[in-house]
Structures are given as structure tokens and as C-alpha cells.
Amino acid sequence: MSKHLADSGFWPFRPVSDRIHCFLGEAPIRILLVEDDPDLAQRLVTGLEGAGFVVEHAADGETGLELGRSEDFDAAILDLGLPDMQGVEVLQRWRKAGREMPVLILSARGSWTEKVEGLNAGADDYVTKPSHVQEITARLRALMRRAAGTASPTLSYNDIVLSPSSGTVTVSGKPIDLTAQEFRMLNYFMHRQGRIISQTELLDHLYSQQEDRDPNTIEVYVARLRRKLGRDAIKTQRGLGYRLG
């Protein structure tokens, strides 16, 4: 993370040194806040910075989506009611791009369907509006503790090593260039080593319901992964699906 921050030019060009910060290892804890209500956003930014976090604020879904996809964050706070895009869609697209940071969703009071939809899309927790900054801060810390405690830094299978946090893959120590979708598929396989995974299961996990879910694309991605990782990396179980190794 600290290397990424240094590479991105983010550090030390932001005037953060005059505040007290929460740290994960060597880098300050960086939170992405996606919230279109300017008053609430201001309140949260002030409160979270006061609690020692470094906060990036996006006021619409498109900006939040891009920031969350292209930069590293330790956690995100995501409003579900955004002007240009549903928060759930932003979340689904982050997850599809392999972004695994803990996500806390902000949802309107009483909208339980929204919360369920958000959790199903890969959110880790939710807070109902109106909410206190202290509650949000406490939940964020809990989420990050959990993520740090349970997330293994890397997954390995034979000579393949995948790092979910940095989004990198190596084979025998050599870095392999994967597209976001290839990475997501491999990540799915790595978490389910030795299990047969059907095409339907892969479709369900790699695509949202709204998307064109063509089983042929699964074969294309499997073929590409084999090309990049080795022919025997993924086996076909005729009529059943695929298996790692």
C-alpha cells in the first residue's frame, strides 16, 4: 500500500502530515466516501478526518466507481441513492473488477430491500440514515479489523500465487498480466480449490443479472487463463464444469 501511494504521487503531496492519522502498517487508512448529499458528505468527511482517516469524497456514482476501481482504499462508505447510478451497481462493478475492500452502505430508513440488495451485492455492513459519525467510524474500524484478521494475504495453488489485496498474480514468481475479469475468475477458482465449479455458478459470480450472460464467454476466459497460467491449470470436467488443478 505504501508503495502504491508513493507511486501514485498521492504521498506526500497531500497536506496530511499536520493531522493525526490512523495507520495500517506504514500507510494512513484511506477511505472512499461516495455520497451525493453535500451536507452529509461534509459532516462525514470532517468527522472521519477528525477520527484520523484520510478521506476521498466522490459526489456521484460514476466518480465513485472510477476512484474505487482505479485506486487503493482500505474501506468504502457508499450511499445507495445516488443521482446518476444506483449505489448497488457501483458496488457490483467494484466487486467485478476484483476490488475487495470492505464496503459499508448507507441506506434510507426503512428500506430493508435496499439493505438486502446491498448485502447481496457484496457489501459488508450497512448503516441506516440519519447516522452518527461515531457509529460509522466504529463500524468501519470493525470491518477493517475483520478484513485484516480473515483475509489471507495471498492464495496459492502449485506455482500460482494470487494476491487479492494487490490484484496481482504470479506463476513461479513471474508476474502474469490478467484482465479484471480473468483475475476475478481466477480468484473465484483459487478460493474453491479442488471443487468442481459449474458454468452456471461461474456466470452467476462473474456477471450481474442485468448483463448479457453468455456461457461461451466462460469458455473464452477459461481458455485465456490456461494460456496465461499453463494448460493444466484449469481442468474441464465434462458435463459438470471446471476445476482448478
- Interface ranges with Ca ion (CB under 5 A): 36, 79, 81
* Least CB distance to Ca ion at residue 114 (A): 11
Q: Which is nearer to Ca ion, 79 or 114 (CB)?
A: 79
Q: Which is nearer to Ca ion, 31 or 41 (CB)?
A: 41
Q: Which is nearer to Ca ion, 72 or 79 (CB)?
A: 79
* Least CB distance to Ca ion at residue 58 (A): 12
* Least CB distance to Ca ion at residue 207 (A): 27
The sign of the dihedral angle between the CA atoms of 89, 94, 95, 96 is positive
Shortest Cβ contact with Ca ion: which residue?
81
* Least CB distance to Ca ion at residue 61 (A): 10
Q: Which is nearer to Ca ion, 136 or 162 (CB)?
A: 136
